[in-house]
């Protein structure tokens, strides 16, 4: 499940530098994937590229955008369901130079007690 930013966003920009997959862009800014540029998904508000979001699986124990958002508008997108395994594979594809630790409660929101 990709995380999404709702219309409650106040454009504070706090989330963008926290994303380990560079999945967050300011409104109107083109997003990059495999060296190709794509038109902005939102022209007015910060947005998350579903193809680049892993719900922070592989990196952190919870979604970092949601952790810093002052208005709690980074939420799971119910239309973009993915398994933990799919998200971990995505994280590896997005970060080919990174050594990932095995999934645990330290780097997957799915492992929390
Ligand atoms: S959940 Fe994690 S990977 Fe997805 S946009 Fe937020 S910070 Fe980036
Ligand atoms: S932290 Fe929240 S309010 Fe700020 S830009 Fe990101 S989504 Fe919008």
Cβ-proximal residues to 93 (8 Å cutoff; 6+ apart), any chain: none
The widest CA-to-CA distance across the chain, in whole angstroms, is: 39
DSSP β-bridge partners for residue 38: 31
pLDDT in tens, 26-80: 999 999 999 999 999 999 999 999 999 999 999 999 999 999 999 999 999 999 8
| Host domain of residue 14 | 3-111
What 3-state class would DSSP assign to 35?
coil
Residue 58 is part of a domain; what is its CATH number?
3.30.70.20
How many domains does the chain contain in total? 1
Could you say which DSSP state residue 103 is in? Answer: P
Rg (CA), the chain: 13
The reported pTM is 0.96
- Please indicate whether residue 4, judged by its CB atom, sits closer than 6 Å to ligand 2: no
Ligand 2, atom 4, residue with closest C-alpha: 12
The pick from 64, 73, 95, 100 for probing ligand 1's pocket by mutation, whose C-beta has the most ligand atoms within 8 angstroms, reads 64
């Amino acid at each position: 499940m990709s995380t999404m930013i709702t219309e409650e966003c106040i454009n504070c920009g706090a989330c963008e530098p926290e994303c380990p997959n560079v999945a967050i862009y300011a409104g109107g800014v083109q997003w990059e994937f495999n060296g190709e540029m794509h038109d902005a998904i939102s022209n007015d508000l910060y947005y998350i590229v579903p193809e680049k979001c892993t719900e922070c699986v592989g990196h952190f124990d919870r979604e970092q955008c949601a952790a810093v958002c002052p208005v709690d508008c980074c939420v799971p997108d119910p239309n973009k369901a993915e398994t933990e395994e799919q998200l971990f594979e995505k994280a590896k594809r997005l970060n080919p130079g990174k050594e990932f630790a095995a999934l645990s409660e330290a780097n997957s929101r799915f492992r929390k007690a």
